[in-house]
Chain A
Amino acid sequence: MKVDIKHIAKLSRLKIEDDKLLKFEKDMEAIVNMVEKLPDVEGELKLDTENPMTLREDVAVQNKFSRDELLKNAPEVQAGCLVVPKTVE
């Protein structure tokens, strides 16, 4: 199966360089051909009720981390906010 690389790349926010595009397409085609060989198994997917989730009690905890700590790894910060290129509505 041929994959629409350009479309999938856009959805994934990736850009494949032109000189790599051909190999990428070939690799993707081979991989998809491998994975699509799934057998037809009977049955529908059901929710696992044997392991229900334990829910968290509604208790707020304050000040575990400072803003500085959390934004330390940010590429660009201004006025306590993260900076990104202008977003258009």
Chain B
Amino acid sequence: MKLYEKSAFELTQMLKEKKCSSLEIVEDVSKRILEVEDKVGAFVTLNIDNAKEQAKTIDEKISKNQAVSLLAGIPIGVKDNISTKGINTTCSSKMLENYIPPFNATVVNKLNESEAIIIGKMNMDEFAMGSSTETSFMHLTKNPHDLERVPGGSSGGSAACIASGEAIISLGSDTGGSIRQPAALCGVVGLKPTYGSVSRYGLIAFASSLDQIGPFGKSVKDVALLQTVINGYDKMDATSKNIVYPNLLEGLNENIKGLKIGIPKEYFGEGIEEEVKTSVMNAIKLLEANGAIVKEISLPTTPFAINTYYVIASAEASSNLARFDGVKYGYRAKEYDNLVDMYEKTRSEGFGDEVKRRIMLGTFVLSSGFYDAYYKKAKIVQRKITEEFVEAFKDVDVIASPTVPSTAFKIGENFGDPLKMYYSDVCTVTANIAGIPSISVPCGKDSKGLPIGLQFFGDKFKEQTILNVSYAYEKLSGGFDCMSKII
């Protein structure tokens, strides 16, 4: 097995046992990038030279038997909406094509403290708005399992690079499913943590009350390890929760005897493809056969989740993206007659169509006369959805569902049909609305060989619970086969 095919957990063991060096890992991953990046297009910016230098430093420490941190020497991809000091951070938008942040996001500081090596910045849907990475201003990212299909979005690059072997682990962000959906479509593990558990300082905001940064990996252990590194209270983020965050890797426990799994009927309706339903149910049956208790539950307000999500997310986005005005940073139009003209041209030329649609939708729902009917109403429905989960978790420990109604669709298939694209999020948005943690793990492939995702929701701050059931499933199913077979 090549080094790039191994998990972070395995590689940290190998480094400790001096069975390989960090430089060897970085060089192997770099070689792989050279081989396949043309086909996959996962990256916006590569950081290979720096990565090699960092690897050498880590190797020196290890050779001197000095202590190294949790992720020392492991190449990681970072989604391009997470601020990296001195490295281009573009949000895959023309608006920030040349933007170089003067500071690191808190999570990047944590990665640096854990001595992980940032191998590059990952491609995404522009400003995290999309479910296919097709709205990226930079280029398309292809699904490593089928290069004619999308990797999902908005963290398409972060998911694809795991399956293509171009990074060992990666960070993405999830506002309505942007980690879990691409994780499902690319056949890897992706976690959206509890809102408030990972600092948003330095994450270029899409929807402030829904966004969370989260980990991608080949295995549950990798995701648990990376999540342990990035989570924690941050005084720079007022929405960050000040509690004790246990080591999720050390807490992994595959015992699911008596674990109650809720199956919400609203997530298994008509819109879900048959093969997806079958795979997901088979996974659940496997868990049941090994001691888990399965219960049918109902989350009645689920059908309104997409509407609620789009109202709230667009409203916050329209305000968050107003700062891109050509004055302080980012793109500015070349010709304009006056200030208002400068604003309009800058923003119209700098943003793509999907971003414009969402900004306009957000402006509309907040505008005078419409606030009560849309935004206020959506916030009340949000509370109802949240309460339904709280009630459900009194009865069950985790809730299981498909991650996405379908497998990876063809490039261009849904592009240009916003509503069809939005529907891809129908199983994932509820976790963002309720602020609860949710993970997607691979649970088989469809007849076209495309990965299918199984999703587990947990109660707030119960990451350990959903990681445990995922870990149990991983072991019982013989392990996850994440790597692409075609490149």
Direct contact of A and B (CB under 8 A): yes
Interface of A with B (CB < 8 Å)?
3, 5, 8-9, 11-17, 20, 24, 27-28, 30-32, 34-41, 43-45, 51, 53-54, 56, 65, 69-70, 72-76, 82, 84-88
Are A13 and B318 within 8 A (Cβ)? Answer: no
Interface residue SS majority, chain A: loop
Of the candidates A38, A56, A70, A84, the one whose C-beta lies within 8 Å of that of B304 is A38
CB contacts (< 8 Å) of B344 on chain A: these are: 13-15
Asked whether, in the complex, the Cβ of A28 is within 8 Å of the Cβ of B376, the reply is: no
Which residues 311-346 of B sit at the A interface, judged by CB distance below 8 A?
A: 311, 318, 322, 325-332, 336-345
Chain B residues closer than 8 Å to A37, beta-carbon distance: 304, 307
Residue numbers in B under 8 Å from A27 (CB-CB): 357, 418
CB within 8 A of B329: which of A28, A53, A73, A88? Answer: A73
Q: Which of A35, A36, A40, A41 has the most CB of B within 10 A?
A: A35
List residues of chain B with CB within 8 A of the CB of A15: 344-345, 348
> Residue of A at shortest CB range from B334?
A75
Give Cα distance in the complex from A9 to B343, angstroms: 12
Q: What is the size, in residues, of chain B's interface with A at 8 Å between Cβ atoms?
A: 62
Give the docked Cα–Cα distance between A69 and B328 (Å): 12
Return B266 CB to nearest CB of chain A, in Å: 14
Nearest Cβ on chain A to B268's Cβ, whole angstroms: 21
Q: Given A73-B329, A73-B330, A87-B339, answer yes or no on A36-B304 (Cβ-Cβ < 8 Å).
A: no
The 10 closest A-B pairs by CB, nearest first: A73-B329, A75-B332, A13-B343, A15-B348, A15-B344, A85-B339, A12-B363, A69-B102, A35-B307, A38-B377
11 pairs across A/B with beta carbons < 8 Å? Answer: A3-B360, A5-B360, A12-B347, A12-B363, A14-B348, A15-B345, A20-B353, A35-B374, A44-B380, A45-B380, A74-B327
Closest to B233 in A: A54
Distance between Cα atoms of A58 and B330 in the complex (Å):
32
Q: Mark B400-420, 1 if CB is under 8 A from A, else 0.
A: 000000000000000000110
Chain B nearest CB, measured from A19 CB (Å): 12
Question: Using Cβ atoms and an 8 Å threshold, which residues of chain B touch A85?
Answer: 336-339, 341-342
Scoring A34, A69, A72 by chain B CB atoms within 10 A of each residue's CB, the highest score goes to: A34
Q: Are A45 and B379 in contact (CB under 8 A)?
A: yes
| Chain B residues within CB distance 8 Å of chain A | 98-100, 102-103, 235, 238, 241-242, 301, 304, 306-308, 310-311, 318, 322, 325-332, 336-345, 347-348, 351, 353, 356-357, 359-361, 363-365, 367, 373-374, 376-381, 383-384, 418-419, 422
> Cβ of B364 and Cβ of A14 under 8 Å apart?
no
Residues of A within 8 A of B381 (CB): 38-39, 41
Whether A14 lies near B310 (C-beta < 8 A) is no
B340: chain A residues within 8 A (beta carbon): 13
A24 lies within 8 A of B330 (CB):
no
Known: A38-B377, A43-B383, A72-B100. A31 touches B339 (CB 8 A): no
